[in-house]
Amino acid sequence: MTQTTDRNILSLRNVSKRFGGLSVITDVSFDVPAGARMALIGPNGAGKTTIFNLISGFYQPNEGEILLESRAIQGIPSRKRIGLGVARSFQNIRLMPHLSVVENVMLGQQARAGGILDMLKPLSLFGRSAWHREAEQLLADMDLPTYPGEVVATLPYGVRKKIEVVRALAARPKLLLLDEPAAGLNAAETDNLTAFLKRISETGVTLLVVEHDMGLVRRLCDDAVVLNFGRKIYDGPTATVQDNPLVLEAYLGPRHASKDRQGAAHVA
């Protein structure tokens, strides 16, 4: 087991989660170094989204610890974890379609609000405030300057995916959890999103990415953790993940995996 160090922004230690008698996550441990771009992958039903829900505070573990910068955060409510530096995007876009782009981004600023009046400011009740200008600047920094006044519902799907990530960035996270950011995108949109996420990483934000598109994973992430039936079966470089026998077996089944070891595996 890797030991927790000051370089790890996130550490899971022997984390387990059960729903009634069903064990969904069993004794999972891994570290996410500060500044890393790491993937969390596995077949459908492997427990990836449950791990995200545990990290972001929607679920509480039955056993184990979740450490953010060496501080145990299990038991801390979800909203307060955002204040500690954990933000998240979702597989299904959760923007407010009737609001403008900049108003959606400003909703992400509410995690930093210190009181009731501060929470109202991102809702544009006070005109073009410093919050409004900051949201516009964040969009410009992320190369989305032409969209701030447009209603989200009118924009292409790939652009809306980016806007959801920018909204999460408005909370000024240290750790950004991305749940299948490329879902529903075509190849060109996925390439564009990959470059976009690399640019976010260059600002110092740590990325933990759940994704089925292994092309994106290989281009974006240096390391990967692989789950199968709620257990960790691999923790290492993305360059070698498709050569690992346990990973091959998880995706292809034991008989097909043994045949595929002679060639390249198409883990997705």
The secondary structure of 208-237 as a DSSP string is EEE-S-HHHHHHH-SEEEEEETTEEEEEEE
- In the prediction, which pLDDT does 260 show? 54
- In the prediction, which pLDDT does 6 show? 58
Range picked from 105-114, 134-143, 248-257 for highest mean pLDDT: 134-143
* CA dist., res. 22 & res. 65, Å (int): 20
Q: What is the dihedral of CA 56, 59, 63, 68, to 10 degrees?
A: 10
- In the prediction, which pLDDT does 1 show? 35
All domains of the chain in start order, with CATH: 1-85+173-268 (3.40.50.300), 94-172 (no CATH)
- In the prediction, which pLDDT does 134 show? 87
- In the prediction, which pLDDT does 257 show? 52
More confident residue, 259 or 225: 225
Per residue in 44-59, pLDDT (tens digit) is: 999 999 999 999 999 9
Tokens of 1: 């087991």
- What does the pLDDT average to over 173-200? 92
The amino acid present at 174, given as its one-letter code, is K
- In the prediction, which pLDDT does 95 show? 83
Strands (E), 99-212: 175-179, 206-210
Per residue in 30-45, pLDDT (tens digit) is: 999 999 999 999 999 9
- What does the pLDDT average to over 182-209? 92
Q: What is the mean pLDDT of the chain?
A: 85
Q: What proportion of the chain, given as a percentage, has pLDDT over 70?
A: 84
Residue 44 zone, left/alpha/beta (φ > 0; ψ -120 to 50; rest): beta
